[in-house]
Structure 1
Amino acid sequence: MKRFIGFIKKEFYHIFRDTRSLFILFGMPIAQVMLFGFAITNEINNVNIAVFDKSKDATTQEIINKITASTYFSNQQFITNEAEIESVFKKGNIKAVLVFEKDFSEKLTKENKATVQIITDATDPNTANTVNNYVSSILQKYQQETNKNIKPVYQITPESRMVYNAELKSVFMFVPGVMTIILMLVSAMMTSISITREKELGTMEILLVSPIKPFQVIIGKVVPYIFLSVINAIVIVLLSIFIFGIPVQGSLFLLGIQSVLFIINALSLGILISTISKTQQTAMMISLMGLMLPVILLSGFIFPISSMPVPLQIISHVIPAKWFIIILKGIMLKGVGITILWKETLILVAMTVFFIVLSIKKYKIRLE
C-alpha cells in the first residue's frame, strides 16, 4: 500500500513540475469555455441590412424604425433600385435586403394586404434563416399592434411557449457541450501520454520490474488526474452559473457524482490509448484526432443525432460524450434526477469498467 501511495505522489509531483501540463489542464478549459460561451452562438445581433423602399410613406418608415430599433438589426443603407441589391450582397457587409412594394400604405389600407420582400444572403444558411424568422416576427408583431380592433370571422392564432430555455439562449446549448468536450479531451489527452512518457523517459523498465501490480499502475496514473479534472469541472460549472447565467435546476450533488463518473470514463479511455501507443506523439494524435471529431460531430453537441443517417446514429451510441450531454442537460436545465437518468448512468459505468479492464489487459501483455 505504501508503494502504491508513493506511486501516486510521484505522479502528482510530475504533473506540478510540468508547467505545460498545468496550462493544458487549467488554462485551456477556462479559455475554451469563455470562447464558446461568448463567441459561438446561433443568435444574431446587429446584423447589417439594407432597405429598398419603393413607397417611402409613413407606414414603411414606421416599420423600418421598428426593425432597426431592435438589437438584432442595424440599417446600413437605403438603396434606390433593384440593380443595387446584388452589388450590396457581393460586398459581403449586408446580410439582408428588405423591399417594400410601391404604394405600400395605400394597399394596406384599401386591400388589407401589402408585401415586404425579405432577401437574405444564404451563403450562411443558418444566419439567413434566422434573419428571415426575426424580420417576420417583427412584422407580425407590428400587424397585431396595428390591427387590434380588426377581428376576422375565423381566426386561428398559434401560441408557442419555450420551456427550459425561454429566451432561446444558445449558450444554454453550447456550455454543457463544451464542458463535455473539455473534460473528455483534456482528461483523455493528459492520461494518454502518461504511460508512453514512462517509455520515452526510460522509467518504464523500473515499473516493469517493480512489485506494483498492473491494476495499481493504472489506478495510480488515473487518481491524480481525477482530482485535477474535478477542479476543472467545478471551475466550468461556476463559470456557467455566474458568467453565463445558466441555472442548475437539479441536484448539485448528482451533478458532481455524474461529472466524476464521466471524468473517470475519459481518464480510463486515455489510459487505454496510452497502453497501445508507443510514443507520446502517437498517443496525442489518437486522443486529439480520434476523439475530437467523434465527440463534436456524433455527441449531439452541435448537430441533432435524430437528423443523422441511421449508421451514424448507431455509432453515436458508443460515444460516452453523447450520454453525458444528456445527463448534463437533464440535471442543469430540466432538473431531473437519477430516476430519469439511470439508463445513461449505467451506460457510462459499463463503458468505464470496459475501458479500465481492457487497459489492464493491454498493460499485462506488455509485461510479458
Structure 2
Amino acid sequence: MLKLKRIIHIAGKEFISIYRDKLSMTILILLPLIIVGILGNVLRFELNDVKFAVFDKSGSSLFISLIQELDKTKEFSFNGNLNHQNEIIPAFISEDLKFVLFVPENFERGGEVNVFLNGSDLLMSEAVMQRLSAHFAEPLPFEYSFIYNEELKSEIEILPGLVMIALIIVASIMLSMSVNRERERGTARLLIITPAGMNEIIAGKSIPYLIVSIVHGFSVYLLSLFMFGIEINQGVFNFFLLTVLFSVATMMTGLFIAALVKNELELLIGCWLFIFIPNVFFSGFIFPLQSMESIITPVASIMPGRLFIEGYKGVVFRLTSINVNAKYFIILAFQSLFFYAVSVYLLKRNFFRK
C-alpha cells in the first residue's frame, strides 16, 4: 500500500538532487524558455517589412495610391522607384529587395502588373504572392516572373540549408566532442605536458574536421553539378571560402561550448540548444526571416547559418562577386576570431590545467 509520507520524502530528495545538479536545473529552467522563445518567434505566418521597389512606366495616379496603401501596412516596405528595367536585377542584390513591381504604360487600360520575385528564395516568394493576392479587395492583374531560378527547382531552396546542417554536425559538434573526450579520458594532461602550446593544440584538433568540411563542400559541388544541374563555375573560390569560414566559425562556437561544460551530455545539450536550433530556425531555411519579430531579426541576420545560406545563394545562384559577399565573409571571420579568443582563455583556465 502506498505511503504518502515515503513518497513525499523521495520527492523531496529528488528536488534536492535537481537543485544541486546544475545541468538538470539548466534543462528544467532554460530549455522550455529557449524552445518557446525561438519557436514562438519563428512559427509566425505574417510578414514584416518586406522590401519592394517599383518600376512605373504608366505614371498612373491610381497605382501610386495603391503603392502608398501597400506601404502603410506592416507587411511591406516601399524601397523606392527604379528608373530602368535593367536596374531590376542589380536592385535585388544591392538593396536586398524581395520583389519588384513593373507597371506597364497601359496599366489603366487593363495591362498586367509584372511582379519580379527572387526564385532562389521560394519560401519568401510564395508568401509574397499569397499576401499580394489577399491584400487588394479587387485583385490586380498580376503576372509573376522569377529571376535566378526560372524553373522553380525546389532543391535550390533546400540545398543550402542541408549543407549548413551537415557542416554544423561535422565541424562544431564533432570537434567539441573530441575536445571534451580528451578531458573525460584524462588525455588532456598528456597534451598539455607536450611542447605544443594551446594554439597548436587547437589547430591540430581542428584541422582534420576542417578538411572533412572542405571534402563535404567538394561533394556538394559535384552533387549540385551532376545531380541537380547547378553550376558553380563562376564562384568556385567564393564557394569554398564561404565553406571554410562557416566551418571555422561553427567549430570555434562548438569549442567555446566545450570549454564551458564538464561532460558529453552537457556538451550535446549545449550544442543542440545554442548552435543547432538557432542556426536552423533563425537562418530562413524553414521560415522566412521577415516573418519573425523585428526584435529578433537583427540577431537572426548575424547567425552563422543565416550568413552561410545568404552567401551560398549569392555565390551559387545569383553569381555575385566577392565584393557583394564580403559582408558575410567578414562577419564569419570576426565570429571565428572572437570565439577562438574566448575559447583559448576558458580552456587555459578550466580545461588544460597542468
Q: Tell whether the structures are fold-level matches, with TM greater than 0.5.
A: yes
- Determine which structure has more spread, i.e. the larger CA radius of gyration: 1
Q: Is the 8 A contact 1:247 1:332 kept in 2?
A: yes
| 2:305 aligned residue | 321
Is 1:264 paired with 2:219? no
Letter paired with 2:261:
S
Letter paired with 1:231:
V
| 2:323 aligned residue | 339
| 2:181 aligned residue | 197
Query: C-alpha distance in 1, partners of 2:230/2:266?
Result: 38
Q: Is the 8 A contact 1:249 1:334 kept in 2?
A: no
Query: Which is further off, 277-286 or 332-341?
Result: 277-286
Which of 165, 177, 196 is the equivalent residue of 1:212?
Answer: 196
Task: Indicate the SS of the match to 1:310.
Answer: coil
Q: Is the 8 A contact 2:161 2:285 kept in 1?
A: yes
Q: Is the 8 A contact 2:179 2:255 kept in 1?
A: yes
C-alpha displacement at 1:299, in angstroms?
0.8
Q: Is the 8 A contact 1:330 1:336 kept in 2?
A: yes
C-alpha displacement at 1:194, in angstroms?
1.4
Which of 284, 290, 309 is the equivalent residue of 2:274?
Answer: 290
Query: C-alpha distance in 2, partners of 1:174/1:249?
Result: 20
Q: Deviations over 1:93-133 (max 9, x none)?
A: xxxxxxxxxxxxxxxxxxxxxxxxxxxxxxxxxxxxxxxxx
Contiguous gaps of at least 5 residues in structure 2: 1-107, 115-143
Q: Deviations over 1:301-340 (max 9, x none)?
A: 1211122101211221341111111110001000001111
| 2:295 aligned residue | 311
Is 1:233 paired with 2:217? yes
Query: C-alpha distance in 1, partners of 2:291/2:234?
Result: 28
Q: Deviations over 1:10-36 (max 9, x none)?
A: xxxxxxxxxxxxxxxxxxxxxxxxxxx
Q: Deviations over 1:38-89 (max 9, x none)?
A: xxxxxxxxxxxxxxxxxxxxxxxxxxxxxxxxxxxxxxxxxxxxxxxxxxxx
Q: Is the 8 A contact 1:194 1:271 kept in 2?
A: no
Query: C-alpha distance in 1, partners of 2:159/2:152?
Result: 14
Query: C-alpha distance in 1, partners of 2:248/2:284?
Result: 21
Task: Indicate the SS of the match to 1:162.
Answer: strand
Q: Is the 8 A contact 1:230 1:260 kept in 2?
A: yes
Letter paired with 1:352:
S
Query: Sequence identity of aligned pairs in percent?
Result: 29
Counting only pairs closer than 5 Å after superposition, residues 14-29 of structure 1 correspond to structure 2 as none
| 1:155 aligned residue | 110
C-alpha displacement at 1:265, in angstroms?
1.3
Query: C-alpha distance in 2, partners of 1:171/1:300?
Result: 15
Query: What TM-score comes out, normalization by structure 2 length?
Result: 0.58
| 2:156 aligned residue | 172
Query: What TM-score comes out, normalization by structure 1 length?
Result: 0.56
Task: Indicate the SS of the match to 1:219.
Answer: helix
RMSD value, Cα: 1.8
Number of matched pairs: 216
Counting only pairs closer than 5 Å after superposition, residues 81-92 of structure 1 correspond to structure 2 as none
Q: Is the 8 A contact 1:249 1:333 kept in 2?
A: no
Q: Is the 8 A contact 2:314 2:320 kept in 1?
A: yes
| 2:59 aligned residue | none
Q: Is the 8 A contact 1:250 1:334 kept in 2?
A: no
Query: C-alpha distance in 1, partners of 2:337/2:291?
Result: 31
| 1:182 aligned residue | 166
C-alpha displacement at 1:281, in angstroms?
2.2
| 2:208 aligned residue | 224
Q: Is the 8 A contact 1:298 1:305 kept in 2?
A: yes
C-alpha displacement at 1:345, in angstroms?
1.2
Letter paired with 2:237:
F
| 2:235 aligned residue | 251
